[in-house]
Amino acid sequence: MTKKQKKMLIRIIIAAVLLIALNFIPVKGILRMILFLIPYLVIGYDILKKAGKGILNRQVFDENFLMAVATIGAIAIAIYDRSGNFNEAVAVMLFYQIGELFQSYAVGKSRRNISELMDIRPDYANIEQDGKLERVDPDEVEIGTVIVVQPGEKVPIDGIVIEGTSTLNTSALTGESLPRETKVGDEIISGCINMTGVLKIRTIKEFGESTVSKILELVENSTSRKSRSEDFISKFAKYYTPAVCYGALALAILPPLVRMLAMGAAPQWDMWIYRALTFLVISCPCALVISIPLSFFAGIGGASHEGVLVKGSNYLEAMSQTKYVVFDKTGTLTKGVFEVNGVHHSEMEEEKLLEYAALAESASSHPISRSIQRAYGKEIDRTRVSEIEEISGNGVTAKVDGKLVAAGNDKLMKRLGITPIACHSAGTIIHIAIDGKYMGHILISDVEKPTSKEAIRALKSAGIEKTVMLTGDAKRVADQVAEKLGLDEVYSELLPSDKVAQVERLLAEKPEKAKLAFVGDGINDAPVLGRADIGIAMGAMGSDAAIEAADVVLMDDDPLKIVKAIKISKKCIRIVYQNIIFALTIKAICLILGAIGIANMWVAIFADVGVMVIAVLNAIRALYVKNL
């Protein structure tokens, strides 16, 4: 509990004890009223103060005004009819404040998930000077500076490890508790906690542009974008509150006047004023005004705890209506890392063929060449290689142990007058020839993420009608990946502008109320992310432009998190509609009962505070998303 909440709890306890005790003290008249005013003011002075300020600022109609009028009116009736029944006035204020305390605690609970994420903000960065570590403000660290991160410290700025190995705790960023190993040459993002070894990191971004700053900015701004449901409730309360105030006034005045003027009977002012005050307490829109934003806030908090950052409740609402999910391929459904997947049709041992290819490719920095060298896995002896010639768009030739080795595509084989064996596997084919004789080929392909196939299947189970993949890759490669993962449609050999055109076409053909989500990670995906109804960016390895353009950011690049995000959004929207229907139904019934005199002030307390507590309890269920 916060200091403010503890103070309120003490006031509630004091007022409750005084209220109970006063009912056992046999006093009447003015002394009884004065004694009951003590717990009334203890529990309600701030409500009266806020109501007074609202009247002075010409912002009269709010819940504070309703509570003040209802309770002061109840005291006035008790004085007028000499019943001495001041219990209701104190009880209404007491239970209202209990409801407010409960709501404050619930908001604090949902904020905790986001505040845990906020805890990733680093307080300092270590810079080594004259053999000593000096702590500086992360904002003062320039790009290219070497910083030192010791065990237990947060990584303050994005960079590349230049010395040391360690294990990183990334749970604050990704929601996953599994530690990640890091070594020299690895890129490291800010916000992680260094768990074991000392790391020296060369910064590649300024603090304001680093991952941790971007995340904090996204979360801090998330509550500023309201959903249609929240806008509806805000507008509803704006017109609803004055309407019920005027309705209560009419209920207090018109029936007694009609009774007196038309029927010639006694007006019974006290009875009708009491009904009007009951009507006011029942009508208080707290349950809606509090629980609806709280539901979205809890949904965003629960999602952030799972490593899904939603930039606003409007995107959370839109995500619940998603029917089409469109994917980029490289880095989204696949790892974006080339690996040797096989050595085929070899006239010699596969290991020996891979060795000749790695030696021939040893001077090239091309990703394909590097993947062959990694697959070879041994230190390359450059003294065995001579006469290296790289032929642009074809491949390389080189003398290895005195033998002429050619490694490249179909064009290179054709150029050398060698007939390669056709391969229909998805990926890049590197043909190998030695001394003019074809020896076999190496298959290199981008590897699917281990959860991609499961994610596509889970999306369909979650109600997604169409899954589509857009890629710049060759048709043969794209088709095989799409078939393997179970995608509905695939479009290949696309430029960034072509991807936008495809998304425009899909937006035009989808049902009007259905939403289209695009998932991407690269800088060339930014235009499509901005054009889709919901843009989802892979945040851990995604580009800054993609994260900036997206509406939802997945912090660990796991496609399964898309399913998690959609399920969270659907749960949140279900809770919102449950609260709206429940609160309006109960209030409508109680308002009618109050107007005809069946419901008393105790029923009014339930209709206000009871309904609010139930709605808030329902709202905080949006926090619990672990098992979705």
> Phi and psi of 125, rounded to 5°?
-130, 145
**2-20 CB burial, b ≥16 within 10 A, e <16:** eeeeeebeebbeebbebbe
Q: CB of 237 within 8 A of CB of 65? A: no
Q: How far is CA 318 from CA 119, 203, 303, 311, 569, in A?
A: 29, 37, 15, 12, 8
What backbone torsions phi and psi does residue 377 show, to the nearest 5 degrees? 75, 5
Distance set, CA 400 to CA 386, 388, 405 (Å): 7, 9, 7
DSSP 610: I
Residues 6 or more apart from 87 whose CB is under 8 A from it? 19, 23, 36
Closest listed residue to residue 535, CA positions, set 548, 523, 521, 519: 519
Tokens 């891979």 correspond to what residue? 354
- Is residue 566 a contact partner of residue 321, using CB atoms and an 8 Å limit? no
C-alpha dihedral (234, 240, 245, 251), degrees to nearest 10: -160
Q: Pick the closest to residue 544 from 560, 561, 562, 529 (CA basis).
A: 529
Going by the DSSP 8-state scheme, the letter that residue 223 receives in this structure is: G
- For CA atoms 293, 299, 302, 307, the dihedral sign is negative
- DSSP per-residue string spanning 547-571: HHH-SEEETT--THHHHHHHHHHHH
Give the span between the Cα atoms of 104 and 93, in whole angstroms.
Answer: 16
Interatomic CA distance for residues 303 and 325, integer angstroms: 19
Specify whether 328 is catalytic.
yes
C-beta of residue 110 within 8 angstroms of C-beta of residue 297: yes
Residue 521 has which token pair?
Answer: 């990670």
Closest-CA residue to 89 (of 63, 70, 104): 70
- Among residues 328, 473, 551, 556, which one is catalytic? 328
- Taking alpha carbons only, the member of 554, 595, 26, 541 closest to residue 282 is 595
**Nearest-5° Cα angle at 47, 45 to 51:** 115
Q: Catalytic residues, which ones?
A: 328
